[in-house]
Amino acid sequence: MAPRALTPEEQQLAHALLDRARAAMKAIEPLDQRAVDRLCQAIAWAAANEGTATRLARMSVEESGMGIPEPSRRGKVLGILRDALRQRSMGIIEENPEKGLVKYAKPAGVITSLIPVTSPYITPIGIAIYALKCKDAVIFSPHPASRKTTNEVVRLMREALTRQGIVADLLQCVERPSIPLANELMSKADLTIATGGPAMVKSAYSSGKPAYGVGAGNATMVIDETADIADAARNTRISKTNDNGSGCSADGNILVDSRIYDEFLAALQTEGGYLVNDREKDLLRAAYWDAEGHRTAETIARPARVVAERAGFPLPDGKTFLIVPEARIGRQHLFSTEKLGTVLAIFRFDGFDDALDQVRQIFDTGGKGHSCGIYSFDDEHIHALAMVAPVSRIMVRQVQSRANAGTFTNGMPMTSSMGCGTWGGNITNENISLKHYMNVTWVSRPIPEDRPSDRELFGEFYDTDIFEPATRTL
């Protein structure tokens, strides 16, 4: 069914939001780097101090039913703030005397930010920090099922700006979101950052304006014979249950070397995993996906207990995620596809080539470009996986749902939005971070000539046969 047309009231609202955003950007043009950094700190504290983050987490669960009522992703805001404060975002940001190049940062402009239902309060804060750092303005378009939470987050950040004597309209939020209104905002803004599902990203890329989108996840982890089994099982539980598996980086599929399969499966159960039997597997499949193979909304990012109840079987106390043994891969075998919840599929492999083949098959079902991980101390295995996996990021011996988007113990840029490259239909496969929120002016000065000879450039083909002109015309 085609979306309804944009109403005159929505069109008027969109233009008003955009006009206010551009006026707000104009008002902060005189601010220097120190002043802008203070604004980033002010809005981050207002929305992500521990007490407020806890309130927002509870509000999010009460509104959408998804996630957990604890601010498990608050660290992401702290990491984004760290990364932002350590970089320059105006004036000269890079100099390369050898090449005679100097780079100057400029604002990207007004950004339309599409916010997913699975991250209604953390994602807006992170985007606001990076945007303000670059003197951009943001208009947030929340998901209808979590609009109250996102509006509350933006209200807090606007209040923080006002208290600093800064016009609040640098950050605005749509109160009554709709697809036509979001499309209008995207078509008129300077840039769109779309964090969400495929339909949302497709709309962003169809807006006629530049856009950064994200791709679907189907995080797949390889556990080889050298893995620390207890550590791998513990990290798997943390990743799978973090915010009830709402993130696209949460472990979805585990491939385990057959030599340690039984030991690892036992360790997962010790960590709180519940191994479903064949009957429960059938019940779970019927509850988790509809007749067309689409995920059912009432099981996305829900506690394992709730999912089991909907499926029709009891879950023992202390069990926090569901383990599904699987041997088949493909779109018709739904447990090998993206899950967005507290269900984990486990496969076994015989020999590392078999593991690599299963990785290829799984990503052919979906999730190409996003991520996978490996628990191994064998650098050859890590290298082999990196050579063949069609993903933008591979985490080694880390909690996947946290590590992909950057942690304090790895070097990934902190973000809530991860590009998946051409594999996932995105323009970039990088973590969307500060550099993506700015325009850059390159200033080039003359340098000594750096021109190799023809012989150096053409190598063995230099001064060989020259092809004759074609003997017939097309």
**Do residues 302 and 66 lie in contact, with contact meaning Cβ atoms separated by under 8 Å?**
yes
Q: Is the dihedral of CA 35, 37, 39, 45 positive or negative?
A: negative
**Annotated active-site residue in 134, 248, 372, 420:** 248
The Cβ-side half-sphere exposure at 45, using a 13 Å CA radius, reads 10
DSSP state of 160: H
Residues contacting residue 454 through CB under 8 Å, at least 6 positions apart: 462
Q: DSSP states of 261-292 as a string?
A: HHHHHHHHHHTTEEE--HHHHHHHHHHHB-TT
* Residue pair 224/242 in contact by the 8 Å Cβ criterion: no
Q: Cα–Cα distances in Å, from 301 out to 31, 241, 324, 370?
A: 41, 9, 17, 19
Question: What is the C-alpha separation between 205 and 186, in angstroms, rounded?
Answer: 9
- Residue 226: HSE in the Cβ half-sphere, 13 Å Cα cutoff: 13
Using alpha carbons, select from 386, 369, 371 the residue that is nearest to residue 421.
369
3-class SS letters over 367-393:
CCEEEEEEECCCHHHHHHHHHHCCEEE
- 40 carries an active-site annotation: no
Residue 101 tokens, joined: 């190049």
The conformation of residue 461, written as its DSSP 8-state character, comes to G
Counting beta carbons within 10 angstroms of the beta carbon of residue 103, is it exposed (0 to 12), middle (13 to 18) or buried (19 or more)? middle
What is each CA distance from 195 to 148, 279, 354, 381, in whole angstroms? 18, 36, 34, 32
Q: Which residues are catalytic?
A: 248
